[in-house]
Amino acid sequence: MFKKNGQSVPDSSTADATEWQLSEFQVAEQDGKKRFHDFDLPLPLMRAIADLGFEYCSPIQARSLPYTLAGYDVVGKAQTGTGKTAAFLISIINELLTRPIEDERYAGEARALIIAPTRELVMQIADDARQLTKYCDLQVHSLVGGMDHQKQRDRLHNALVDILVATPGRLLDFLDSRDVFLDEVECLVIDEADRMLDMGFIPQVRRIVRATPKKDCRQTLLFSATFSDDVLRLSEQWTFEPIKIEIEPESVATDTVEQRVFLTTTEEKFTVLFNILTGETVESAIVFANRRDTTRDLFEKLRKKGVRCGILSGDVPQQKRVKTLERFKQGDLKVLVATDVAGRGIHIDGISHVVNYTLPEDPEDYVHRIGRTGRAGASGQSISFACEDDGFLLPEIEAMLGRKLECEQTPEALLEEIS
Ligand code: AMP
């Protein structure tokens, strides 16, 4: 069961990068901006960064990398859309490449562990990790529930594990069955800690953290979109003399997203939605609703009306969700209808519109939702419907944003009956 792996570990810091020179990745110095060139990162990593088209560091990257690369623990207040995934992955990959393990390694023994609350988020992080490690000999594994258990298990037995990305529940299954070992973890990332709390995962995360080396013997990076008292308490327990970094949500949401609020009635909402989605300006869109049944209902109605759409909500089987996301990414689907939890892990660039069919009850979800568009510097538009049932939620959202949202009457053209 506990399979020894005597393979020699190749010197991954030079793997496959021989023909590529840093001079092929030119980025001019700019005042107030940090480049990835400023951190002396290994060549294979720089090459992958160049392929991704990243030029300058995003604020969370510029502020965290100097510390994470030096081995400090970091507690970061940042949400999706800020580039936090690349921030922690770059630091991990740098560490793994610059300190290769010379000794024998064991199957299932992870060097870096990233835990995230949802399956979509795990898949996305693993995807980003694979892109950033494409020129290195580092193995990325993802463990998520609802997907092929045996396949994940076989891979753990047959390949080394450098970066392990997992949801807490599935990771515990593998830990209990002794297919995964965490006692050699050098770097632990806890992503979206606030969402882990909301979803009741903390007891599980606690068990996982306990299975890793003591906090002064590992590097711990904890990210959360909010710093509630509970999150701060957990970060104190799990990190060692951490550096605190806060990136305000506005730097994601309001800069690149034009936010509109349409005053509607409950009855006319579907017509307005349909007209928006079939209008000329929408290239791709995510429609958010608060409840699963509303999501299902919208999806069915849109599909019947010929809109190429998919659904992402908790009651859709995992494999189907992954396929749906893939089809959306490839442009095969124009619209995704999602609930907040399922929609949180969507990291897709180029989404032109976000529609809030119902306003979220938690104002932070508003920021998360609209952050699905306007990503990576592109511009996007969010349209929120405020009707008699949920208009009262607006003031809280405005308080969170720190600014007023102008409400407008729904444009006449969008009220036209669907033919
Ligand atoms: P995240 O916050 O991790 O969800 O990342 C948001 C998006 O920004 C992802 O699509 C990344 O590929 C992209 N991204 C991350 N870092 C950079 C960067 N330095 N420059 C441009 N895009 C980036």
The predicted-structure confidence for 319-349, as pLDDT tens digits, reads as follows 788 889 889 989 999 999 998 877 766 777 7
User: Is residue 175 within 8 Å of 213, Cβ to Cβ?
Assistant: no
Determine the distance separating the centroid of ligand 1 and the alpha carbon of 57, expressed in angstroms. Answer: 9
Residue among 46, 52, 248 to mutate when testing ligand 1 (max atoms within 8 A of CB): 52
φ, ψ (nearest 5 deg) of residue 31: -55, 135
Which of 218, 247, 276 is where one domain is finished? 247
- Ligand 1 pocket list (CB less than 6 A): 54, 57-58, 61, 80-86, 347, 349, 375-376
Residues 195 and 273 in one domain: no
Which atom of ligand 1 approaches the CA of 52 most closely?
Answer: 12
Determine the distance separating the centroid of ligand 1 and the alpha carbon of 251, expressed in angstroms. Answer: 13
Which of 247, 275, 309 is where one domain is finished? 247
Regions of the chain where pLDDT drops below 70: 1-18, 248-255, 344-345, 375-378
Residues 262 and 118 in one domain: no
**Closest to 36 measured CA to CA, from 16, 22, 18, 17:** 22
Residues 235 and 261 in one domain: no
Query: Whose structure tokens read 């992080």?
Result: 125
- For ligand 1, atom 21: residue with the closest CA: 54
d(CA 244, CA 236): 11
Domain total in the chain: 2
d(CA 79, CA 214): 27
To the nearest 10°, report the CA torsion of 20, 61, 140, 134. Answer: -20
Alpha helices in 305-393 (DSSP H): 318-329, 340-343, 363-370
- For ligand 1, atom 6: residue with the closest CA: 81
Residues 179 and 217 in one domain: yes
Residue 10, in any domain of the structure: no
Q: How far is CA 323 from CA 170, 312, 332, 347, in A?
A: 20, 10, 11, 15
What's the confidence (pLDDT) of residue 18? 59
Residue 9, in any domain of the structure: no
SS (H, E, C) 16-67: CCCCCCHHHCCCCCCCCCCEHHHHCCCHHHHHHHHHHCCCECCHHHHHHHHH
Query: Whose structure tokens read 């995360």?
Result: 205
pTM above 0.95, yes or no: no
Residues 395 and 287 in one domain: yes
- Parent domain of 235: 17-247
Determine the distance separating the centroid of ligand 1 and the alpha carbon of 144, expressed in angstroms. Answer: 23
d(CA 39, CA 98): 13
Residue 7, in any domain of the structure: no
**Closest to 182 measured CA to CA, from 203, 201, 202, 205:** 205
Determine the distance separating the centroid of ligand 1 and the alpha carbon of 244, expressed in angstroms. Answer: 21
Q: How far is CA 305 from CA 255, 308, 337, in A?
A: 34, 9, 14
Residue 12, in any domain of the structure: no
Residue 288, in any domain of the structure: yes
DSSP single-letter state for residue 212: S
Residues 235 and 266 in one domain: no
Residues 270 and 337 in one domain: yes
Residues 226 and 316 in one domain: no
What's the confidence (pLDDT) of residue 5? 38
Which atom of ligand 1 approaches the CA of 57 most closely?
Answer: 19
Residue 282, in any domain of the structure: yes
Q: How far is CA 273 from CA 108, 280, 327, in A?
A: 48, 13, 21
The amino acid occupying position 203 is P
Residues 178 and 301 in one domain: no
What stretches of 209-332 adopt beta strand conformation (E)? 219-224, 243-246, 257-263, 285-288, 309-312
Determine the distance separating the centroid of ligand 1 and the alpha carbon of 334, expressed in angstroms. Answer: 22
Residue 67, in any domain of the structure: yes
DSSP single-letter state for residue 147: S
Q: Domain holding 28: CATH number? A: 3.40.50.300
Residues 182 and 256 in one domain: no
Which of 247, 272, 307 is where one domain is finished? 247
Residues 346 and 260 in one domain: yes
What's the confidence (pLDDT) of residue 250? 46
Residues 352 and 322 in one domain: yes
Residue 228, in any domain of the structure: yes
